[in-house]
Structure 1
Amino acid sequence: MVLPKIAQALLVVTVVSSASAIDWKPTYDDKPLHEDFKKKILENVPTEPIIEPKAKRKILVYSATAGFRHGSIPTGKFAMEKMGESSSAYEAVVSDDPANFEKDALKTFDAVLLLNTTQDFFMPQHTQHHGSIRDQFTDEEWAFLKERNDRLIANLVEYVANGGGLVGVHAATDSCYGHKGYGDTIGAYFWGHPWVGNQKVMIRVEDPEHELNEPVFGDVTEFEMIEEIYQFTEEPYSREKLRILLNLDPERSEVPKSEVRRKDNDFPVAWIQKVGDGRVFYTSIGHNDHHYWDPTLLKHYLAGIQFACGDLEADTTPSAKIQVPHF
């Protein structure tokens, strides 16, 4: 059948429009990493693993954002890549290509590390300096991107349940609010940061003898740092499900700058959990650049990565069931 010229033109526009959505990948105008930052990272990355890997490991480091974008992301990406090389614990593929979250691609990774991701991180950012990014897509294109976003998040949740590893750093809990499976998997949702990034806070090593804490902190049971500290919504966060590793001592931290919504004084900073056959490590440490060249905190990240990959065996019994006090 020969289409009228107008119909042919409409068909061409539709095909081109769909192609632009299919080809869309996130890109960002991040500032180049300062050479001094690179030097500090290279001087301080661990030179050996927490434990010898059981096999050659490969992780995906993903840092796409649909909401706020942390300036420390380039620092974190460089640190995670170089730490894998220096310690020989893993190989890092640093990429924001959503195609890596298709089911067959995910199977090639031992763990996925979400580095300061925000909102629905497979979608375009909400706004940019010269206007709304949403306006650059037709309704059909946006529907395609939304369907892909939902599917890839479901793929990630399924990947973990089937035995994959997940590492969340800082804003990974400020992500995917409309996806219950993601919230259950990462362990909590962001509910604001009463303590902002330039404040001194006291962090307690809640479980000093735990397999992820002892090789990192040794005999240290508390330490002071400058960091933005999160509070988490009442659901899905629960000590009935998570093994808490670090938490905030609010009484010995600077006075918070904004509303403290949690009234139970429970401000976890790092935890692990078993999800199906998979392993999840989350730490809210990672707002500031300097964390990514701190020798102790680099080991903290490394222990979490090796746990997620399945090399560092650790007790995931929820904290409530072992009655570890948090204040």
Structure 2
Amino acid sequence: MKKIIIYGIVFLASVNIALAQNPQEIPLDQAWKDKISELAPEKANFPFKKKKKVLVFSLHTGFWHWVNPHTQAMIQIISDKSGAFDVTTSTDIAMMEKDKLKEFDAVIFNNTNSKPQYRNLFVDKISENTSLDSVTVWAQANKLEQNIIQYVKKGGGILLFHGGDTMLNNSMEFSKLTGGSFDYHTKQQAFQVRIEDPTHPLTKSLPAEGYNHVDEPYFYKNAYDELDFHPLTYFNNAEIEGQRKGQEKTSGKTYVSWIRKDGKGRAMYISTSHNAQSFENANILAYFLDAMQYVAGDVKVDETPIGK
């Protein structure tokens, strides 16, 4: 009987740990929005001459993140409360046409996950028109990709959240623009997000010692290995459990967020936003608002790539 009780206690403890490592979905209701509004910054950290226009693009064809609508709501709340941004939301790829993109100071790609087959969000969507042959589909998809690349080079800004880096995952040109491509992630777990440089203007909203966070630790490939970006946050590889067999990293660091100058514009990637619980933190909300101001061109910071 004692053994049964002990086993039962161990089982319950393991269940509690598992639940703690996999936050449950929470409703996007008014109570949650009110919580985020209360935690959101009263004003932007960086001065701005006028309210900027930002597009939040939330189309997905691959894995659906339940946090997507919460992320969109969070962006709307911190934009409204700070008065820094006018927000437009869309899932229409027509918004990636040149004449549409030029209406915005920045575009946020909110978990724009593509299907595994091609890892190309635009090919996935355009090929839904079965009257088009594959040559036409890829030509149209490549045109939309080039629109984004040229949009940044000419002065626009893009901010990618979490799975947003999979949208054109097999394109090396897009990988270079954004700083890297998705390789894989481990199981959800608590890990310490550390600050590369606590004096950098874009990390001052975060605690200097970093913060503990439950999420999917992301690992990267393609252009990431060139380190042609300026890192902001990272985790220690040795602290991450469940890494891919044969590719375990027992030393060094993997970056969690970074910025990159490209032509006249800017790109930023932030991997930590798999769960809406992530946003229930005033420091994180301030960091996201800082990120939006950066890609919109409100602040000039050190963008020196570490790989150069």
Q: Structure 1 length normalisation: TM-score? A: 0.78
Letter in 1 for 2:182: F
Q: 2:292 pairs with 305, 308, 313, which one?
A: 305
Residue pair 2:217, 2:240 contacting (<8 A) in 1 also: no
1:261 aligns with 2:256: no
Q: 2:28 pairs with 23, 27, 33, which one?
A: 33
Structure 1 CA distance for aligned equivalents of residues 89 and 237 of structure 2: 35
Structure 2 CA distance for aligned equivalents of residues 296 and 67 of structure 1: 30
Letter in 2 for 1:255: E
| Structure 1, 35-44 or 299-308: larger mean CA deviation | 35-44
Residue pair 1:274, 1:280 contacting (<8 A) in 2 also: yes
1:47 aligns with 2:45: no
- 1:98 is displaced (CA, Å) by 1.5
Structure label with greater radius of gyration:
1
1:207 aligns with 2:197: yes
Structure 2 CA distance for aligned equivalents of residues 110 and 259 of structure 1: 42
Residue 175 of structure 2 is matched in structure 1 by 183
Residue 172 of structure 1 is matched in structure 2 by 164
1:317 aligns with 2:304: yes
Residue correspondence of structure 1 range 1-327 to structure 2 within 5 A: 33-119=28-114, 120-124=120-124, 137-140=129-132, 144-194=136-186, 196-197=187-188, 199-214=189-204, 216-218=205-207, 220-233=208-221, 235-238=222-225, 240-251=227-238, 253=239, 255-256=241-242, 258-259=244-245, 261=247, 263=249, 265-320=252-307
Residue 20 of structure 1 is matched in structure 2 by none
| Structure 1, 103-112 or 174-183: larger mean CA deviation | 174-183
Structure 1 CA distance for aligned equivalents of residues 129 and 95 of structure 2: 23
Provide, for residues 66-121 of structure 1, a one-character-per-residue CA deviation record: whole Å limited to 9, x for no partner.
Answer: 21111100000010111111111111111112221111111110001001111222
Q: Structure 2 length normalisation: TM-score? A: 0.83
Residue pair 2:219, 2:254 contacting (<8 A) in 1 also: yes
Structure 2 CA distance for aligned equivalents of residues 262 and 273 of structure 1: 27
* Structure with more strand by fraction: 2
Residue 16 of structure 1 is matched in structure 2 by none
Letter in 2 for 1:217: L
- 1:162 is displaced (CA, Å) by 1.0
- 1:124 is displaced (CA, Å) by 4.3
Structure 1 CA distance for aligned equivalents of residues 98 and 154 of structure 2: 11
Unpaired stretches in structure 2, ≥5 consecutive residues? 1-25, 115-119
Letter in 2 for 1:231: F
Letter in 2 for 1:309: A
Identity of aligned residues (%): 29
Letter in 2 for 1:164: G
Question: What is the SS of the residue equivalent to 2:273?
Answer: coil
Provide, for residues 132-161 of structure 1, a one-character-per-residue CA deviation record: whole Å limited to 9, x for no partner.
Answer: x96x64252766554332211110011001
Structure 2 CA distance for aligned equivalents of residues 283 and 72 of structure 1: 14
Letter in 2 for 1:290: Q
Letter in 1 for 2:298: D
Question: What is the SS of the residue equivalent to 2:182?
Answer: coil
Letter in 1 for 2:90: S
Unpaired stretches in structure 1, ≥5 consecutive residues? 1-30, 126-132, 322-327
- 1:52 is displaced (CA, Å) by 1.7
- 1:262 is displaced (CA, Å) by 6.0
Residue 8 of structure 1 is matched in structure 2 by none
Provide, for residues 148-196 of structure 1, a one-character-per-residue CA deviation record: whole Å limited to 9, x for no partner.
Answer: 32211110011001111010111112221232221111111111112x2
Compute the RMSD of aligned alpha carbons. Answer: 2.4
Residue pair 1:206, 1:221 contacting (<8 A) in 2 also: no
Structure 2 CA distance for aligned equivalents of residues 104 and 245 of structure 1: 32
Structure 2 CA distance for aligned equivalents of residues 226 and 146 of structure 1: 37
